[in-house]
Amino acid sequence: FVSTEIATQPELWRQVSAGFAQYGGALPTAGQRVAAVGCGTSWFMAMAYAALREDLGQGLTDAFAGSEFPAGREYDAIVVISRSGTTTEVLDLIRDTQLPTIAITATPGSPIVDLADHTIMLDFADEQSVVQTRFATTTLALLRASLGQDLSQAAADAEVALTIDVDELAKLEQVTYLGTRWTIGLAHEAGLKQREAASAWTEAYPAMDYRHGPIAIAQPGRGVWIFGEPPADLLDDVTATGATIVHHPDLDPMASLVVAQRVAVAKALSLGLNPDQPRSLTRSVIL
């Protein structure tokens, strides 16, 4: 498996954070009304960016799956994330909208480069694996840098994340991932990694909503993975079910996602699966 793609995340986050002016100059500025769009992993990164941008007071920010952009909605800019630059729904969106578009991609010469008004090229973060890891997190690192965040602690935490033993976590029968605000996108992404790489059943929810039904499947041998700060009493509620709690309070939530990526790989390998080549999934979904 392409473990180097997971292992190089700390240096890539440092690179885009320190080089923000070089890479991210075209990104929206404070006060603009922004939509962020992508499919699959790229949608989840858009979700994380949108919540973080609003919470940092930088302006209204919505996130949509590529197919779900509401026609006629006004924004000052649309940030479109697509590693391949070929995903049908996001290309259709860019073709159909009159609004300014800023694409973030890893693929020079892809259709998105011609279609978008601006392109941010992160080709140095591209991947061989069908399953996205470093392109997604490097994109989010760049977006966080555009919001004024310094990624050096997150990068240091990701180095710690690369050393955490994941064997026991990979044995869990099922994991539900929870987040609040921007970490909800990370929770969805962590769940998708296990589904893609290891064909494993996972779910993801906003942490507060987890109590409204999903907690019913929690039991010994299954896990509840919490990104960011757990809401009051949630840890007690989960503990009472006997489920294993996974929470990295000392790590940046993006570093906890790196642990989740490694769990997905370990689980795939333990099941005899190729984590880079999920069944029924191609590098880019072209309809």
**Contact characters 122-161, ligand F1P, x per CB under 6 A:** --------xxx-----------------------------
Place of tokens 């509840």: 224
* Choice between 2 and 217, CB closer to ligand F1P: 2
For CA atoms 79, 82, 85, 86, give the dihedral sign. Answer: negative
Smallest distance, ligand F1P to C-beta of residue 87, A: 3
Q: In the Cβ-directed half-sphere of 247, how many Cα atoms lie within 13 Å?
A: 17
* Per CB under 6 A, 82 contacts ligand F1P: yes
> 185 near 137, Cβ under 8 Å?
no
**Does 285 participate in binding ligand F1P (rule CB under 6 A)?**
yes
Q: Which residue has the tokens 């919540």?
A: 51
- Report in angstroms how near the CB of residue 130 gets to ligand F1P at its nearest: 6
The CA–CA distances, whole Å, from 154 to 11, 145, 161 equal: 11, 11, 10
Residue 87 makes contact with ligand F1P by CB under 6 A: yes
Q: Does 284 bind ligand F1P (CB under 6 A)?
A: yes
Exactly one of 24, 28, 40, 111 binds ligand F1P (CB under 6 A); which one? 40
Nearest residue to the partner ligand F1P, using Cβ: 40
Q: How many C-beta atoms surround the C-beta of residue 153 within 10 A? A: 12
Query: Whole-number minimum distance, CB 231 to ligand F1P, in Å?
Result: 28
Under the binding rule (CB under 6 A), the answer on residue 84 touching ligand F1P is yes
Order the strands of the 61-65 sheet from edge to edge: 61-65, 34-38, 77-81, 101-105, 118-121
Where on the chain is the footprint of ligand F1P (CB under 6 A)?
Answer: 38-42, 82-84, 87, 90, 130-132, 283-285
